[in-house]
Amino acid sequence: MTKPLDGISRKISEAKDTRLYSRQRLTTEVRRLSRENEQLRREIDELRRDSQRIAEIYDLVVDRLSRDS
């Protein structure tokens, strides 16, 4: 014969397992998103550097054209 508390203990244990699984899944997802975020930041930095180089070249072209005319 099972005691009523055994059923409650089992349910509590199952709930703890579910929370642990959810916490682990969330931790994994947070780590994945952090890596993705870092990669996007590097790409943005690279685009900013490219944009800066384009602006510098544009300024050189405008300067050269204004001197030649």
Could you give the C-alpha distances from 44 to 36, 39, 40, 53, in angstroms and in order? 12, 9, 6, 14
The answer to whether residue 1 scores a pLDDT higher than 60 is no
Q: What's the pLDDT at 5? A: 66
Q: Residue 15 and residue 7: Cα distance in Å, rounded?
A: 12
Chain segment 2-53, per-residue pLDDT in tens:
566 677 788 878 888 888 778 888 899 999 999 999 999 999 999 999 999 9
Total domains in the fold of the chain: 1
Q: Please, what sign has the CA dihedral across residues 43, 46, 48, 51? A: negative
Q: What's the pLDDT at 4? A: 61
Range of the structural domain that residue 32 is part of: 1-69
Structure tokens at 45: 């930095």
Q: What's the pLDDT at 62? A: 97
In the structure, what pLDDT confidence band is assigned to residue 66 with cuts at 50, 70 and 90?
very high
